[in-house]
């Protein structure tokens, strides 16, 4: 029992087109088979999957750090005065941010409300002035927590 041309066209356009490109319901699937297989059996939310979306920012002047998940490279020739707003509770939980100095300067990082909600006694991180100074922060519950650092002091 053969299908009519109209039924074949309907199946190809409305359901699944594998002749020219792989589409489902009119939406093209661009992931490779390997990428789809990687997700086989994964029960993660979109937010959890997006934690892998690392960003990068280069800071060559005083100012705000605008990313929340990735690496900030500090390249200012003089001391950089950096600011970082608190992450959004729940939305940004588990995001990690590393701030790395590529210049030999005593940069400062001021965080709203302090690291881990430590208030004004724990709101400024000062880099020692050596190339490679760095601090890694994790977002949780609307605050940044220090999970690692090299030659950075907090007061």
Going by pLDDT thresholds of 50, 70 and 90, the confidence category of residue 17 is low
What are the structural domain ranges in the chain? 5-38, 55-154
Q: What is the pLDDT of residues 118-135, one digit of tens each?
A: 888 899 999 999 999 999
Q: What is the pLDDT of residues 61-115, one digit of tens each?
A: 999 999 999 999 999 999 999 999 999 999 999 999 999 999 999 999 999 889 9
CATH number, domain 55-154: 2.60.120
145, pLDDT greater than 80:
yes
Q: Which residue has the higher pLDDT, 83 or 7?
A: 83
- HEC per residue, the chain: CCCCHHHHHHHHHHHEECCCCCEECCEECCCCHHHHHHCCCCCCCHHHHHHHCCEEEEECCCEECCCCCEEEEECCCCCCEEEECCCCCCCCCCCEEEEEECCCCCCEEEECCCHHHCHHHHCEEEECCCCCCEEEEEEECCEEEEEEEECEEEC
45, pLDDT greater than 80:
no
Residue 25: predicted pLDDT = 72
Mean pLDDT score, 21-32: 77
Q: Which residue has the higher pLDDT, 50 or 75?
A: 75
Q: What is the mean pLDDT of the chain?
A: 87
30, pLDDT greater than 60:
yes
* Helix (H/G/I), strand (E/B), else coil: 22: coil
Give percent above pLDDT 90 in the chain.
61
């Amino acid at each position: 029992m053969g299908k009519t041309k109209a039924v074949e066209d309907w199946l190809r356009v409305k359901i699944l087109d594998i002749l020219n490109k792989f589409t489902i319901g009119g939406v093209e699937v661009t992931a490779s088979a390997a990428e789809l297989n990687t997700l086989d059996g994964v029960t993660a939310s979109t937010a959890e999957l997006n934690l892998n979306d690392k960003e990068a920012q280069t800071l060559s002047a005083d100012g705000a750090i605008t990313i929340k998940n990735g690496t900030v490279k500090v390249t200012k020739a003089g001391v950089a005065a950096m600011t970082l707003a608190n992450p959004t509770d729940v939305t940004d939980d588990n995001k990690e941010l590393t701030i790395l100095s590529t210049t030999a300067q005593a940069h400062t990082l001021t965080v709203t409300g302090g690291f881990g909600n430590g208030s004004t006694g724990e709101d400024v991180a000062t880099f020692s002035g050596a190339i490679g100074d760095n601090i890694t922060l994790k977002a949780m519950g609307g605050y940044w927590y220090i999970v690692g650092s090299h030659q950075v002091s907090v007061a």
